[in-house]
């Protein structure tokens, strides 16, 4: 199975990360706290001496900025280092309009609108990029505003700034500093209440969904660009309003009032308090504004202090003060969907009678000249399960991506009553196509219930503060969760779910869009046998409600059990289609999966003999991708000079086993010993140094380096340099490489790259050579040559552990074999015995 590119990323969230889902959970606690704090602040403002009211007003203004930035950073997960630009725009707009004679209130409102318009205009180019690129866009914006303020002298007064604004009035009364402070406190309270309503409403939920997984959000009908643009615009609006109050409060503004560093302090406000939390900006603004006041004798150290504070928060409380407190105080609501949940059947059934079938015709796409799918066609009928199967690299997921709108097909059509091909994913989703993913794409920080609720709207969010869900929606969501068999707490953040629950919740979420077509990408991967049986029953029930169900799956027992119709792909092209029985009986399918008779391996002349002591051994080895176990309690031994094969269907855990042994994927439990040393805790490069070499799946040669450089790099982990004679010896073994010694490896053919990868592994002079799917994607003639080389190596007493889908071939050269099923060793024994064993065929094609 395809492994995630880099381990360590995308692990499921542990406790603290998940707190974001809970913080805004209390419906009334938040607003009450806001009102209480506002009342206290108002009390202080009404009684305190002049300077303190000014400081309080400054804190309140910073709270408003913090809330604005929190919408962007906390809800949408986008960082901006340019918010001082919006703040300045708000301040200048009010100042200029008031000097032109406009009243404060009109100027205030207009300033907010101008700032929001600037935010909208900046969002258009800025949101095409992410990460450092977005940060750069916002920095550039802040500088343009700052220097614009200096240069546009007629309007802004240039470096001298603006002053002499008329005092704001309310009902004919002039507002003094005290009144302005009260006004700032009121604005801060309103901003916080607005954030509360937004975060809990449909838009806030959509923003967090887009933040957690844009891919999944699109497949629920959400348009990430629209959602992020709204977030950016709102953020600019609030920051602009804060600036609009800053001008009359300070009576004077100039470009120096808005230094670039202020943007970083704004981000600090959100981070100190806790991104995504309601009260975080209050804490953050208090810290950022008050601490310099308290340390006024140490004013010089102000920035040093802020730098250190920022580092302290990042190291010790990455969720911020409020976030950390909330995690600490939070108790999970234990309520589950329960038996009272209504049957979602009526909601899933076709509202308007018969549903159309999904018709796929002549669908094709190529990536960089490689045809990933071509001429794929089938008709999937409502109420039936259509499975798409095929060996690794057959193009199954590509076909799902084409149907779902994630890829734009080069040619062909996808019809569901009307043409869908070429439409963007969120439009396809709104037309009634839902899906799940090979690696589950849940919204990690949202609760299980929210994951389902966000899907119920199919991307139609309503007005800005529309509620996320009514009681009816909630009942339907609970019903769907009960329907798929999820029995855990509804409030649990999706990032904390076990693997099987992740699969179930993802299916419930897809069903919540009340789809006409449901695409499932390997829903059984990583599931235990009993869970797979339950899944099979669930799939039948879903199909029973009249949905067009399309299943991509490696587990052949499941496919053969539940499918009405099976489409077999091989190398991107349709191989055959028919009933499960027809497919199982088809010789072409057997060849595609197990390797045909055109492959001939050369067995050993004399049976292997050697010490019984293993050179490489695993004991109770377990490995997982996040919560999904991939290898369970595997005991395996390879003795010196022996060649051992690991077999099993796609997704059985073969590659993961090799990766765990080689240190690319840290095992969760068990031991790996190499020549008596325990290596399971060592990093990959240290395991190489200990004498283990893995030739990885997909060859992974260094494309921009020459063949010679690739070979020499193979010896990087050794103590002594690679000598020229060693390179020569490899070239003797692989003569094709000699002709191409100075060619860049990326230009080699697949077969040549595989030879190079093996040579590169051998040059390290390993005690054990591991090979992961060496024949994958190679033409049959090349595979034969490859296996001749392996037989030679074996006869020279190289110790080899090989994983290969082409079971017949691997067993021909091997002395012994292990068959993996579902991550466990299902069979083991002499290669000769396994060759005739029907259990092998069952492991690949189901019972």
Partner 1 sequence: MLFVSALVTGLGLGAMYGLLALGFHVTYVVSNTVNFSQGSSMMLGAVAAYMLAFGLGWPLPLAIGAALAICALFGLVVERFLVRPFAERGSNGWLMATVAGGVVLDNLALFTFGKEPRSFPSPLAEEPVQILGVGAYPLQLVIPVVALLIAAGLSFVTRRTRMGKAMLAVVQQPEAARLMGIDTRRVIAVAFALSTVFAGIAGILIAPLFNVAAGMGTVFGIKAFATAILGGINSAWGVVLAGFLYGLVEALTTAYLGSTWTQIVAFSMIIAVLFLMPNGLLGRAAVQKV
By the 8 A CB rule, do 748 and 793 touch?
Answer: no
Distances (CA, A) of 497 to 13, 17, 331, 442, 532: 9, 13, 16, 10, 17
Contact predicate 201/74, CB 8 Å: no
Q: Does 797 bind partner 1 (CB under 8 A)?
A: no
**Contact between 15 and partner 1 (CB under 8 A)?**
no
* 502, 584, 591, 760: which one binds partner 1 (CB under 8 A): 760
Residue 5: CB minimum distance to partner 1, A: 8
In the complex, the smallest distance separating the C-beta of residue 310 from partner 1, rounded to whole angstroms, is 4
Nearer to partner 1, 40 or 215 (CB): 215
- What's the Cα-to-Cα distance from 723 to each of 633, 690, 728, 743, 769, rounded to whole Å? 41, 20, 9, 20, 20
> In this complex, which beta carbon is closest to partner 1, that of residue 335 or of residue 721?
721
- Binds partner 1 (CB under 8 A): choice among 617, 664, 813, 834: 664
Q: Which of residues 69-98 bind partner 1 (CB under 8 A)?
A: 79
What's the CA gap between 196 and 116, in Å, rounded?
A: 20
Chosen residue from 33, 117, 140, 290 binding partner 1 by CB under 8 A: 140
In this chain, which stretch among 31-39, 130-138, 352-360, 806-814 interacts with partner 1, using CB under 8 A?
130-138
Residues 291-320 that bind partner 1 (CB under 8 A): 300-301, 303-304, 306-308, 310-311, 314-315, 318
Cβ 559 vs Cβ 566: under 8 Å: yes
Stretch binding partner 1 (CB under 8 A), from 89-97, 184-192, 694-702, 837-845: 694-702
Taking the C-alpha atoms of residue 289 and residue 282, their distance in angstroms, rounded to an integer, is 11
Q: x/- site string to partner 1, residues 93 to 112, per CB under 8 A?
A: --------------------
366 near partner 1 (CB under 8 A): no
CA distance 241 to 257: 16
What span, in angstroms and rounded, lies between the C-alpha atoms of 181 and 177? Answer: 6
Q: Which of 191, 209, 322, 712 binds partner 1 (CB under 8 A)?
A: 712
Q: Which stretch binds partner 1 (CB under 8 A): 530-538, 572-580, 759-767, 820-828?
A: 759-767
Q: To the nearest whole angstrom, how small is the minimum distance from the Cβ of residue 562 to partner 1?
A: 24
Asked if residue 704 binds partner 1 (CB under 8 A), the reply is yes
Is residue 264 close enough to count as binding partner 1 by CB under 8 A?
Answer: yes
Shorter beta-carbon distance to partner 1: residue 590 or 765: 765
Q: Rounded distance, CA 394 to CA 374, Å?
A: 11
Sort 16 into a burial class: Cβ within 10 Å, 0-12 / 13-18 / 19+: middle
Contact between 703 and partner 1 per CB under 8 A: yes
In the set 684, 782, 784, 826, which binds partner 1 (CB under 8 A)?
684
Cα angle 40, 323, 296; round to 5: 55
Contact status: 677 vs partner 1 (CB under 8 A): no
Q: Which is nearer to partner 1, 313 or 337 (CB)?
A: 313
Nearer to partner 1, 555 or 772 (CB): 772
CB of 798 to partner 1, least distance (A): 17
| Least distance to partner 1, CB of residue 267, Å | 7
- Verify binding: residue 155, partner 1, rule CB under 8 A: no
The only residue of 52, 120, 143, 608 in contact with partner 1, by rule CB under 8 A: 143
Between 516 and 555, how does the x/- string for binding to partner 1 read (CB under 8 A)?
----------------------------------------
Q: Is 550 helix (H, G, I), strand (E, B) or coil?
A: strand
Among 350, 702, 788, 842, binds partner 1 (CB under 8 A): 702
Stretch that binds partner 1, among 162-170, 378-386, 489-497, 660-668 (CB under 8 A): 660-668
Q: Which stretch binds partner 1 (CB under 8 A): 37-45, 46-54, 434-442, 452-460?
A: 434-442
In this structure, what are the phi and psi dihedrals at residue 46, rounded to the nearest 5 degrees?
Answer: -75, -25
Q: Please, what is the minimum distance in Å from the beta carbon of residue 589 to partner 1? A: 27
Count of other CB atoms within 10 angstroms of residue 624: 21
Among 423, 474, 718, 835, binds partner 1 (CB under 8 A): 718
**Minimum distance of partner 1 from residue 758's CB (angstroms):** 12
**In whole angstroms, what is the distance from residue 550 CA to residue 109 CA?**
53
> Distance (Å, rounded) from C-alpha 493 to C-alpha 21?
6
Residue in 129, 620, 741, 839 binding partner 1, rule: CB under 8 A:
129
The token pair at 761 is 């592994």
- The footprint of partner 1 on this chain (CB under 8 A) covers a number of residues equal to 79
Q: How far is CA 834 from CA 15, 444, 658, 799, in A?
A: 46, 43, 21, 20
DSSP 80-106: -S-HHHHHHHHHHHHHHHHHTT--HHH
Report the relative pairing of strands 418-419 and 573-578 from DSSP bridges.
unpaired
Nearer to partner 1, 37 or 689 (CB): 689
* 774 secondary structure, DSSP code: T
- Contacts (CB under 8 A) with partner 1, residues 806-845: none
Identity of the residue, 9 or 331, whose beta carbon is nearer to partner 1 in the bound complex: 9
Distances in Å between the Cα of 347 and the Cα atoms of 300, 448, 508 are 65, 20, 13
Nearer to partner 1, 5 or 606 (CB): 5
H/E segment holding residue 821 = strand 816-821
When binding is defined by CB under 8 A, the residue of 10, 29, 346, 417 that contacts partner 1 is: 10
Sign of torsion, CA 467 472 473 478?
Answer: positive
Choices 41-49, 141-149, 164-172, 568-576 (CB under 8 A): range interacting with partner 1: 141-149
Contact yes or no for 282/240 (Cβ under 8 A): no
Question: At 325, phi and psi to the nearest 5?
Answer: -60, -45
E strand or H helix that includes residue 637: strand 628-639
Q: With b meaning 16 or more CB within 10 Å and e meaning fewer, what string describes 536-552?
A: bebbeebbebbbbbbbb
- Which C-beta is closer to partner 1: that of 58 or that of 441? 441
Near partner 1 in 209-228, by CB under 8 A: 215
* Identity of the residue, 3 or 465, whose beta carbon is nearer to partner 1 in the bound complex: 3
CB of 248 to partner 1, least distance (A): 27
Which residues, 6 or more positions from 216, have their beta carbon under 8 angstroms from its beta carbon? 209, 437, 441, 442, 443
Provide the greatest CA pair distance for the chain. 107
Q: At closest approach, how far in Å is the CB of 655 from partner 1?
A: 12
- Among positions 226-255, residues that touch partner 1 (CB under 8 A) are none
Partners of residue 709 on adjacent β-strands? none
Q: Is the CB of 602 or the CB of 718 nearer to partner 1? A: 718
Alpha-carbon span 259 to 543, nearest angstrom:
61
3-state secondary structure of 443: coil
Q: Which segment (148-156, 481-489, 581-589, 794-802) binds partner 1 by CB under 8 A?
A: 148-156
Please state whether 559 falls in left (phi above 0), alpha (psi between -120 and 50) or beta.
alpha
| Cα–Cα nearest to 411, from 378, 368, 380, 375 | 375
- Straight-line distance from the first to the last Cα atom of the chain, in angstroms, rounded to the nearest whole number: 21
Cβ nearer to partner 1, comparing 1 with 79: 79
Provide the mask over 403-432, with x wherever binding to partner 1 is found by CB under 8 A and - wherever it is not. ---x--------------------------
Ramachandran angles phi, psi of 794, nearest 5°: -60, -45
Shortest distance, CB of residue 484 to partner 1, whole angstroms? 21
Which residue stretch of 52-60, 562-570, 683-691, 816-824 sits at the interface with partner 1 (rule: CB under 8 A)? Answer: 683-691
Residue 438 in contact with partner 1, rule: CB under 8 A: yes
């Amino acid at each position: 199975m395809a492994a995630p590119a880099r381990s360590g990323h995308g692990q499921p969230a542990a406790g603290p990360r998940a707190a974001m889902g809970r913080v805004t959970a209390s419906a009334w606690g938040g607003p009450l706290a806001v009102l209480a704090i506002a009342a206290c602040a108002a009390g202080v403002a009404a009684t305190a001496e002049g300077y303190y009211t000014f400081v309080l007003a400054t804190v309140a203004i910073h709270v408003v900025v913090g809330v604005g930035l929190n919408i962007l950073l906390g809800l949408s997960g986008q960082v901006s280092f340019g918010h001082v630009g919006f703040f300045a725009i708000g301040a200048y707009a009010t100042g200029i309009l008031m000097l032109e004679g406009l009243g404060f209130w009109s100027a205030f409102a207009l300033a907010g609108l101008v700032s929001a318009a600037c935010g909208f205009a900046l969002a258009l180019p800025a949101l095409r990029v992410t990460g450092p690129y977005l940060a750069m866009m916002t920095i550039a914006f802040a500088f343009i505003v700052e220097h614009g303020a200096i240069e546009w002298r007629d309007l802004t007064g240039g470096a001298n700034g603006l002053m002499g604004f008329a005092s704001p009035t309310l009902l004919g009364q002039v507002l003094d500093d005290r009144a302005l402070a009260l006004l700032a406190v009121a604005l801060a309270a309103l901003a916080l209440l607005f954030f509360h309503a937004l975060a809990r409403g449909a838009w806030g939920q959509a923003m967090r969904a887009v933040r957690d997984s844009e891919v999944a959000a699109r497949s629920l009908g959400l348009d990430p660009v629209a959602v992020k643009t709204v977030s950016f615009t709102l953020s600019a609006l609030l920051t602009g309003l804060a600036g609009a109050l800053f001008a009359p409060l300070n009576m004077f503004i100039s470009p120096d009032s808005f230094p670039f560093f202020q943007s970083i302090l704004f981000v600090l406000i959100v981070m100190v308090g806790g991104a995504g939390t309601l009260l975080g900006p209050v804490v953050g603004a208090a810290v950022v504004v008050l601490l310099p006041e308290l340390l006024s004798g140490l004013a010089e150290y102000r920035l040093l202090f802020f730098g250190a504070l920022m580092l302290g928060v990042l190291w010790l409380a990455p969720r911020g003060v409020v976030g950390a407190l909330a995690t600490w105080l939070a108790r999970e609501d234990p309520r589950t969907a329960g038996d009272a949940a209504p049957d979602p059947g009526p909601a899933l059934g076709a509202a308007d009678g018969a549903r159309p079938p999904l018709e796929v015709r002549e669908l094709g796409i190529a990536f960089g000249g490689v045809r990933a799918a071509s001429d794929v066609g089938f008709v999937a009928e409502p109420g039936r399960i259509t499975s798409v199967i095929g060996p690794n690299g057959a193009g199954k997921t590509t076909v799902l991506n084409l149907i779902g709108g994630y890829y734009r097909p080069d040619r062909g059509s996808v019809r569901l009553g009307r043409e869908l091909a070429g439409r963007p994913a969120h439009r396809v989703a709104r037309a009634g196509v839902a899906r799940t993913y090979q690696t589950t794409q849940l919204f990690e920080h949202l609760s299980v219930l929210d994951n389902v609720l966000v899907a119920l709207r199919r991307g139609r969010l309503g007005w800005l503060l529309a509620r996320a869900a009514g009681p009816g929606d909630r009942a339907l969501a609970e019903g769907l969760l009960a329907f798929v068999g999820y029995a855990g707490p509804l409030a649990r953040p999706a990032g904390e779910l076990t693997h099987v629950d992740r699969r179930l919740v993802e299916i419930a979420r897809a069903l919540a869009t009340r789809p006409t077509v449901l695409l499932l990408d390997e829903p059984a991967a990583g599931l235990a046998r009993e869970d797979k049986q339950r899944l099979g029953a669930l799939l039948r029930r879903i199909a029973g409600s009249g949905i067009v169900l399309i299943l991509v799956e490696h587990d052949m027992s499941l496919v053969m059990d539940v499918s009405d119709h099976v489409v077999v792909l091989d190398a991107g092209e349709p191989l055959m289609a028919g009933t499960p029985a027809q497919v199982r009986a088809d010789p072409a399918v057997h060849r595609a999966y197990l390797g045909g008779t055109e492959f001939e391996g050369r067995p050993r002349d004399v049976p292997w003999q050697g010490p019984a002591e293993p050179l490489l051994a695993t004991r109770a080895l377990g490995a997982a991708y996040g919560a999904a176990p991939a290898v369970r309690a595997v005991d395996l031994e390879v003795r010196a000079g022996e060649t051992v094969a690991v077999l099993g269907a796609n997704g059985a855990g073969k590659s993961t086993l090799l990766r765990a042994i080689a240190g690319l994927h840290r095992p969760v439990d068990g031991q790996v010993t190499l020549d008596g040393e325990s290596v399971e805790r060592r990093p990959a490069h240290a395991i190489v140094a200990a004498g283990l070499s893995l030739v990885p799946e997909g060859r992974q040669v260094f494309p921009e380096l020459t063949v010679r450089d690739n070979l020499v790099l193979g010896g990087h982990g050794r103590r002594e340099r690679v000598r020229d004679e060693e390179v020569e010896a490899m070239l003797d073994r692989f003569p094709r490489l000699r002709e191409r010694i100075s060619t860049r490896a990326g230009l080699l053919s697949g077969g040549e790259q595989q030879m190079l990868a093996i040579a590169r592994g051998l040059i390290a002079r390993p005690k054990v050579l591991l090979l992961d799917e060496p024949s994958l994607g190679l033409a049959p003639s090349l595979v034969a040559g490859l296996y001749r080389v392996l037989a030679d190596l074996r006869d020279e007493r190289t110790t080899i552990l090989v994983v290969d889908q082409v079971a017949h071939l691997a067993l021909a050269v091997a002395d012994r074999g292990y068959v993996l099923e579902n991550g466990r060793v299902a069979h083991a024994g002499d290669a000769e015995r396994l060759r005739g064993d029907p259990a092998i065929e069952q492991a690949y094609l189901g019972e």
